[in-house]
Amino acid sequence: MKPGLLDNRDFLAGLLFVAFGAGGFWVALSYPFGSVQQMGPGFFPRALGAILVGFGLVTMVRGLRSGVRVEGAWGWFPLAMLTVAIVAFGYLMEHVGLIPSLVVLVVASAYAGKEFRGLEVAILAAVMCAMAAGIFIWGLGLPYPLFAFEFGR
Amino acid sequence: MNRRIARAATAALATLAFAIPGLAFAQAGYPDKPVRLIVPFPPGGGTDIISRIVADKLSTTLGWKVVVENKAGAGGTLGLDAAAKSKADGYTLVMAQTSNLSIAPSLMPGLPYDPVKNFTPVTLVDAAPLAITVGASSPIKSMADLVAAAKAAPGKLLFASPGNSTVAHLTGEYFQKVAGIKYTHVPYKGTAQALPDVISGRASFYVASLESAMPQVKAGQLRAIAVTSAKRVAQWPDVPTVAESGYPGFEAITWFGIAVPAGTPDAIVARLNAEITKVLAMPDVKERLGGELTTGPAAFTALIKSDHDKWAGVIKEAGIKTQ
Amino acid sequence: MDVLSNLALGFGVALTLKNLAYCFLGVFLGTLIGVLPGIGPLVTIAMLLPITFGLDPVSSLIMLAGIFYGAQYGGSTTAILVNMPGEVSSAVTAIDGYQMARQGRAGPALATAAMASFVGGILSTLIVAFFGPLVGRWALEFGAAEYFSLMLMGLVFSAVLSHGDLVKALAMVVIGLLLGIVGTDVTSGLPRFSFGIPELLDGVGFTVVAVGLFAVSEIVLNLARNEKVEVFAKDVKNLMPTWADMKAAAMPTLRGTALGSFFGALPGITASVAAFSAYMLEKKLAKDPSRFGHGAIEGVAAPEAANNAAAQTHFIPTLTLGIPASAVMALMLGALTMQGIQPGPQVMTSKPELFWGLVASMFVGNVLLLVLNLPLVGLWARLTQVPYRWLFPAILVFACVGNFSLNNSAMDVYLCAAIGVLGYVFAKLDCQPAPLILGYVLGPMLEENLRRALLMSDGSFAVFVTRPISLAFLVVTALILLAMVLPGLRRRRELAVEEAAG
């Protein structure tokens, strides 16, 4: 049986290509195109955008024909959790210093995994903090405070 | 006579009164924590090297802890912006230069900082002219040759620069305007690919910092036909200036200087100025930087303004696109 | 022979106890920072620069150079173990190296990487010693037209990177090309695809792309598996490569060395281009290309030999012409200048002990690296036996701090998270990341050189065929295209004949 559109691997890939290509093309419309002899900054992105749309359409059609399913289930939860962990780390680094940022990163990312054991994660966070402080701050002399509470900056 | 003494005394008193709050602050043991020096470029560039020399000397001779923090991006404006938004307590310095303080306002309408209002200049650290060079086998031997060649074939000479909107690029545009000639600008991304093209003659001439062209000139691969400072430079006594090649008043230099966020206590600015000036006068530092000039905050401010006006005019006339 | 007596002089300098110590310090530091993503030789050398003022020029140059090529060794370690390229040029090694690690062959993969790097390093140092000045002069012949034709060849060749669907692989290359466009356009100075975010004016950093696409998406893939499968094979078979492995890796190592030496000598070309080319060549030559991407040892040996060879020949334009071939090399020149030595072609004659001392130290350094790295293989390989629930947060910590340290800015971390999401979606839809990385690396160079060539020729396309080196690349490109298209045509004709007959 053929999969539905939202489960069709190549159809989705093609759709993604078309979206990227069209988006790139559209944004590049505001850059001067120039001519083939004197290419402007808009020439390459528009050409690439158009080519990508073409590849995308081919991939979509092929997907409809072959009907290969996406393999395995989508891991939305770990994906979202890890993304949140990484983004939080970046934000916190600029405001509260290295140690709190690392703790949040380790705990939040560990939560994305299947087995979350409180004690283990606490030890892991402590070890990572010590390692990171040792390597990056003491060893490499990177200018990050361990703790800093500067939300106003 | 008495009046003069009285006046001097009043002035001294006034200065003292003005300085006391600052002095008290300074005596409270500035700096009592690490001072960060923001470098708006990645490690390894010219700005970074100069900054690390100064930071290193301040740390080793005074026992201060000066930490270099590279905050690169958007042509250096990100680092300047970070400095402008920092606390004006003397613990944040920034290594600013021509492009960020004098050129960026004319190129970037949305610049998040005001070079004059948001910063207090501390001191210039280094200034260098640019060199105009050609490949060793080029028929062009002087600025007069260059102008003649450009007039013979308008738009055909290829002017190589290390990047769009750099001081080198603007200097080339500036000369075009001054000499009333026309050539084609070929921007490169730094020197790696520009130098082979100039050495082999694929590009007609090259405008770049003295330092970046020096090795090739010494080795006889490039020929320097002019420098852009008002006076000849010590390293190349026989290379004429553009000004003496028939364009009096022509001057273009790149400079680096340390600034602090506006509102930093005057006493700290004065202290920084004094200490950095001392560092710059050390023989081994002098040898590494070309540095003959060290200036007070006032002269630095004047330079920022005069260069701003000069480059704003060039950018407008050359029709260089603003971002 | 003259070179031999010069080398003798060089070894006399490099083998003094002091310089041996600095060489060891350099390669040791280099290996360490090579393991960390984002933290590269550039940052390390910049931070060490003030310290080197106190050293004599030869010692400081030997140490700094050691950091640079040592980092190429270290970069492959995390690429193989956890799919996180520690250095730009090891992104390619991650493709097959990581698969080997998952099959329990982390030891042989690491050992092969070390040995291939060693061979690449030693042979290319010989090239530096014997042909340095010659190669340097030849590199001057490369202008915009030559670079464009070379990049085009690489791009056409990239089709072999795909395992599976060709159209999807090409689409990924195009996405990479678009990603490479982000930032300020070199030719016009106009910002593109920066969406008003100032951090994007300099483009998206390589580490950001590589870590997001490889490391982050891999972690999500592993965590999202329904059945509880260990990521790595439980039994680590052997630590050292077998005789068969060595035989399989020998020729790829030599070919990788040749390609790496060539690319390294060109100013402005990064070691990652060399590594990619070597990988693509091996896949094209292989009897069974389908093994690539599933743990082919050639896919580790060739790029590792190439990137280390490139690291050595990178010194050719720098030392013989005084042209810094990359930011790291510019830094080395800066270090020399501050020592009061004017870099340039005259250094070889005026300061022979400096030039030949450095060359000799590269031999010494490569030997030290091998001695340092081979015993570590066992230790590293054991890392794959650490439970994954401990390993992956640790990987993330290094990935995040590394990305943050690029510009000391959170924006790179955010971008990495976004690219991680994209990487995961691509992986689920069976779109390979390697072609994307290649497009991202080649794209900016391709466009910049095409437009510069046309600007300099006043819009005439003739430059690409009238310049012999450029023409040669274009001819090879055409042949590759023909070779790819012909079998397809023949098959179609055979089909048509069959249909007609049937």
Q: Which amino acid is at C248?
A: A
Q: Do B321 and C268 touch (CB under 8 A)?
A: no
CA–CA gap between residue C69 and residue C373 (Å, rounded): 13
Count of B–C CB contacts within 8 Å? 156
Q: To which residue do tokens 């005084």 refer?
A: C322
pLDDT tens sequence across B283-319: 877 776 655 555 677 888 888 999 999 999 888 888 7
Count of A–C CB contacts within 8 Å? 190
Q: Do A72 and C165 touch (CB under 8 A)?
A: no
pLDDT tens sequence across A5-49: 788 899 999 999 999 999 999 999 999 898 887 888 999 999 999
> Which residues numbered 283-322 in B keep a CB inside 8 Å of some CB on C?
284, 287-288, 320-321
Q: Would you identify the CATH topology of the domain B129-245?
A: D-Maltodextrin-Binding Protein; domain 2 (3.40.190)
Do C205 and B206 touch, CB atoms closer than 8 A?
no
pLDDT tens sequence across B91-150: 999 999 998 899 988 888 788 899 888 999 998 888 888 999 999 999 999 999 999 999
Write phi, then psi, for C451 (nearest 5 degrees). Answer: -70, -35
pLDDT at residue C234 is higher than 50:
yes
> What is the band of C186 on the pLDDT scale with cuts at 50, 70, 90?
confident
CA–CA gap between residue A100 and residue C81 (Å, rounded): 28
Residues in contact with A149: Cβ distance below 8 Å, sequence separation at least 6, in sequence order? A95, A96, A97
pLDDT tens sequence across B7-44: 544 444 444 444 444 444 444 578 888 899 999 987 76
pLDDT at residue C66 is higher than 50:
yes
The percentage of chain B sitting over the pLDDT mark of 90, rounded to a whole number, equals 35
Task: Give me the pLDDT at residue C163, please.
Answer: 65
Average pLDDT, chain C: 85
Q: How many residues does chain A have?
A: 153
CA–CA gap between residue C182 and residue C185 (Å, rounded): 8
Angle of the C352-373 helix axis to the C57-82 helix axis, nearest 10? 30
Closest CB to A74 among C411, C417, C428: C428
CA B149 to chain centre: 31
pLDDT tens sequence across C262-307: 988 887 777 888 898 899 889 888 888 888 888 899 999 999 999 9
Distance from the Cα of C317 to chain A's closest Cα (Å) equals 30
Q: Do B86 and A143 touch (CB under 8 A)?
A: no
Q: Do B43 and C47 touch (CB under 8 A)?
A: yes
User: Chain C contact for B214, CB < 8 A?
Assistant: yes
| Residues of chain C with C-beta less than 8 angstroms from the C-beta of B199 | 140, 321
Distance from the Cα of B251 to chain A's closest Cα (Å) equals 32
User: Chain A contact for B69, CB < 8 A?
Assistant: yes
**For chain A, which residues make up each domain, given as ranges?**
5-66, 76-139
Do B100 and B89 touch, CB atoms closer than 8 A?
no
pLDDT at residue C174 is higher than 90:
yes
Do C217 and C427 touch, CB atoms closer than 8 A?
yes
Task: Give me the pLDDT at residue C109, please.
Answer: 92
Structure tokens at C159: 């089709």
Closest CB to B36 among A141, A143, A153: A143
Distance from the Cα of A41 to chain B's closest Cα (Å) equals 12
Closest CB to A106 among C171, C397, C410: C397
Task: Give me the pLDDT at residue A151, please.
Answer: 46
Q: Do C268 and B193 touch (CB under 8 A)?
A: yes
| Residues of chain A with C-beta less than 8 angstroms from the C-beta of C388 | 113
pLDDT tens sequence across C367-404: 999 998 888 888 888 877 788 888 889 889 988 998 89
Peptide bond into C50 cis (omega under 30): no
Task: Give me the pLDDT at residue C302, please.
Answer: 95
> Which residues numbered 232-261 in B keep a CB inside 8 Å of some CB on C?
none
Cα A90 to Cα A106, B82, C142, C407, distances in angstroms: 13, 16, 42, 12
Closest CB to A153 among B67, B69, B85: B85
Is B299 or C66 the better-scoring residue by pLDDT? C66
Task: Give me the pLDDT at residue B292, please.
Answer: 54
Q: Do C389 and A120 touch (CB under 8 A)?
A: yes
Distance from the Cα of C333 to chain B's closest Cα (Å) equals 10
Task: Give me the pLDDT at residue B323, please.
Answer: 53
| Residues of chain C with C-beta less than 8 angstroms from the C-beta of B215 | 322, 333, 342-344
Give CATH 3.40.190.150 domain extents, chain B: 2-127+254-318
Q: Which residue of C has its CA nearest to B69?
A: C408
Task: Give me the pLDDT at residue B134, please.
Answer: 96
- Chains adjacent to B (≥3 CB pairs closer than 8 angstroms): A, C
CA–CA gap between residue C417 and residue A90 (Å, rounded): 10
A137 three-class SS: helix
The predicted model gives C118-122 an average pLDDT of 93
Torsion angle, CA of B247/B249/B254/B258, rounded to 10 degrees?
180
Write phi, then psi, for A138 (nearest 5 degrees). Answer: -75, -45
Quickly count helices (H) and strands (E) in chain B.
12, 9
Interface test with C, best of A52, A117, A131 (most C CBs within 10 A): A52
Q: Which of B79, B63, B83 is nearest to B71 (CA)?
A: B79
CA C452 to chain centre: 25
User: Chain A contact for B164, CB < 8 A?
Assistant: no
Do C2 and C341 touch, CB atoms closer than 8 A?
no
Domain at B2-127+254-318: CATH architecture: 3-Layer(aba) Sandwich (3.40)
Pairing mode, strands B158-161 and B184-187 = parallel
Do B128 and B230 touch, CB atoms closer than 8 A?
no
Q: Which residues of A30-43 are buried (b: 16+ CB within 10 A; e: fewer)?
A: ebeebeeeebbbbb
ipTM value, please give it.
0.92
pLDDT tens sequence across A68-127: 888 888 889 999 999 999 999 999 998 888 999 999 999 999 988 877 788 989 999 999
HEC per residue, C49-98: HHHHCCCCHHHHHHHHHHHHHHHHHHHHHHHHHHCCCCCHHHHHHHHHHH
Task: Give me the pLDDT at residue C415, please.
Answer: 94
The percentage of chain B sitting over the pLDDT mark of 70, rounded to a whole number, equals 88
